[in-house]
A and B are shown apart, each in its own frame.
Chain A
Amino acid sequence: MEKTKDYRLYLAFVVFFLILLPVGNLLGFVSTNTISLWGRYFCFAIVALGVDLIWGYTGILSMCQAFFFCLGGYAVAMHIVSAGAAASGGSGVPDFMTWNQVDTLPFFWVPFQSFGLAILLGLLIPAAFAFVFGYFIFRSRIKGVYMAIITQALALAMWLLFLRNETMLGGTNGLTDFKNLLGLSLSSGNVKLGMYVLSLLVLCGAYFLSKKLVGSKFGKVLQAIRDSESRTSYTAYRVLDYKLAIFMISALLAALAGMLYAPQTGIITPGRMDVKASVEMVMWVALGGRGKLKGAILGALTVNFLYSICTSLFPDSWLFILGFLFVITVLYFDKGFLGALEMLGAKFRKNKPAARPVAETETLQS
């Protein structure tokens, strides 16, 4: 029964987002702006999946997901900017560098001129970062709130680094002025629709892969680590390996999302990787329903949708609304929107009262 319900949900999701919205856009009912907005929400949902894997399932609170997101975003942005500069003739040096009296392309920009290398590096660099950083953190058995603090410190340090003009990544202004990607004009409506569909497909792929991962014995080991790390290692699992693997996977998901995000937004700045951005990502998952993949997606989509609505209706009060939502969720729906929806559904049908909270409180006590 649970399965058929799932399939109905997937079907509804696909019909609405993959058929109704794009067709509506082609027929002129749905504005390109809306399409490109939702395309970006899908990117956030991909990040949220990664956050849920590492925090919801493994219990490691990583506060630097936005940094990984930006590594992906910057990689694609660097390709678009450097390829654009090369195509326009001249020295091939992007405009913002010329204004800073730089007349040769810095060495680390060179590989990004090739699209394939840019994509590869956009995934490889975050993964390598997660590996090295994670290795030292997890080997020193840093856990819980200390993990959150140290990853936040990393995010802050990287944000400061990217802010500097000397880093040659555009400083505070970031990278912008994107024209073409692989010869396709990024301002055209059809390309925007294409990016939307691509983001949606990647989200679906990421969801099913994550679902497989969580359902496998690997996923059970992750939950075991969350429940009792010491028991897991006395049961002969090398906890360090598993933590590293999931940290890298979540970094990869974030980077992938960043790659899809940058071309759709037309700009990537260090503002996307500050501490607040990472906290928000964790918040999407907390609000949507931690420990459930669907909850992560639901959270990322609803919070960002609400953000768009609220900032246009009541520009000053968005943070209050978000804070209010967060408090309500923590107080009354510890399983997030998804848990609240399930509870409502159960009440509506009235055949089965929600008898689940027992497990939750027990878990907290032990």
Chain B
Amino acid sequence: MLLSVQDLSVSFGGVHALNLSHFTLRDKELRVIIGPNGAGKSTFLDILCGKTKPDSGKVLFNETPVLGKTEVEIANLGIGRKFQKPSVFPSLTVYDNMLLAFKMKKSILASLFFKPTEEIDTRIREVAVKVGLITELKKVAGELSHGQKQWLEIAIVVLQDPKLMLIDEPAAGMSDEETEKTGELLMQLARHHGIIVIEHDMKFVEQIAKELVTVLVRGKLLVEGSFDEIRNDQRVIDSYLGRANVQLENF
């Protein structure tokens, strides 16, 4: 097991945001998590990457406990996070954004005396081709389009070479064409990394969910299964119905 979670619970001001009894992820598995707004999806990823401290629970990543570690320690363990709102370094160039992410020693001294090498350059260009940013390397990241920023952030996560990628709504604000490209990219990445994707866009979920889909509702695990099982599960339909979610028509 790459990741195993037990009895994870967190509440904000008395409201249970997450109460997850059980969750596991195999190595190199691509898992999609869906659920209505406020289901605790992002909170779950926040806990995994150290942004939010849970009230109780146990998270093992490669048999190593994750909870209580700092963001940096977790990143060094091999967990990378892409946020819902693209979070890149807008005043640096695309190339520098990727260079900073590249997996290497990141202490002050290492940064002071850092010398670019061919190996790093090749790898950055390789990833840039993958995410379709090879022609934009010299551009300042703040000038990229929204979709390009999303891809840049994915590239940042990829270059850290994590064992587990936490990807929060990668297709938000993307055109259909961009969404499909993102889906292909994620499936390609799943050959080498474990990935957890949160997504609302059901067309996109259908494209990438070749394995299990997890449905969260009000912080609890509702059901786990293949995309077709989930699509026809009455409880899932109800939970979306009850909230009059616009995604219903896609079901």
Decide yes or no whether A294 CB sits under 8 A from chain B.
no
Report the minimum CB–CB distance from A354 to chain B (whole Å): 15
Report the minimum CB–CB distance from B156 to chain A (whole Å): 7
A363 contact set on B, CB distance < 8 A = 90-91, 142
A232 contact set on B, CB distance < 8 A = 89, 100
Whether A235 lies near B91 (C-beta < 8 A) is no
Most chain A CB inside 10 Å of its own CB: which residue of B76, B88, B142, B160: B142
Task: Report how far A216 CA is from B99 CA in the complex, Å.
Answer: 12
Whether B160 lies near A362 (C-beta < 8 A) is no
**Contact sample, A vs B, 9 pairs, CB 8 Å cutoff:** A218-B108, A221-B100, A223-B92, A231-B83, A233-B70, A235-B106, A359-B90, A359-B140, A362-B143
Whether B72 lies near A233 (C-beta < 8 A) is yes
- Do A236 and B114 form a contact, CB below 8 Å, given A223-B91, A359-B140, A362-B142? no
A223 contact set on B, CB distance < 8 A = 89, 91-92
Whether B75 lies near A236 (C-beta < 8 A) is yes
B interface residues with partner A (beta carbon < 8 Å): 49, 51, 70-72, 75-76, 80-81, 83, 86-92, 96, 99-101, 106-108, 111-114, 140, 142-143, 156, 160
Report the minimum CB–CB distance from B117 to chain A (whole Å): 12
Report the minimum CB–CB distance from A366 to chain B (whole Å): 5
Whether A235 lies near B100 (C-beta < 8 A) is yes
Task: Report how far A216 CA is from B115 CA in the complex, Å.
Answer: 9
Decide yes or no whether A217 CB sits under 8 A from chain B.
yes
Whether A216 lies near B112 (C-beta < 8 A) is yes
Whether A217 lies near B100 (C-beta < 8 A) is yes
Whether B101 lies near A217 (C-beta < 8 A) is no
Task: Name the CB-closest residue of B to A362.
Answer: B142
- Do A220 and B90 form a contact, CB below 8 Å, given A234-B80, A236-B76, A366-B142? no
Task: Report how far A234 CA is from B72 CA in the complex, Å.
Answer: 6
Decide yes or no whether A115 CB sits under 8 A from chain B.
no
Whether B112 lies near A366 (C-beta < 8 A) is no
Task: Report how far A358 CA is from B144 CA in the complex, Å.
Answer: 11
Whether B91 lies near A216 (C-beta < 8 A) is no
Decide yes or no whether A238 CB sits under 8 A from chain B.
yes
B111 contact set on A, CB distance < 8 A = 216-218, 221, 237, 242
Task: Report how far A227 CA is from B91 CA in the complex, Å.
Answer: 7
Decide yes or no whether A204 CB sits under 8 A from chain B.
no
Task: Report how far A91 CA is from B91 CA in the complex, Å.
Answer: 60
Among candidates A217, A218, A235, A242, residue contacting B75 with C-beta atoms closer than 8 Å: A235
Decide yes or no whether A140 CB sits under 8 A from chain B.
no
Report the minimum CB–CB distance from B190 to chain A (whole Å): 21
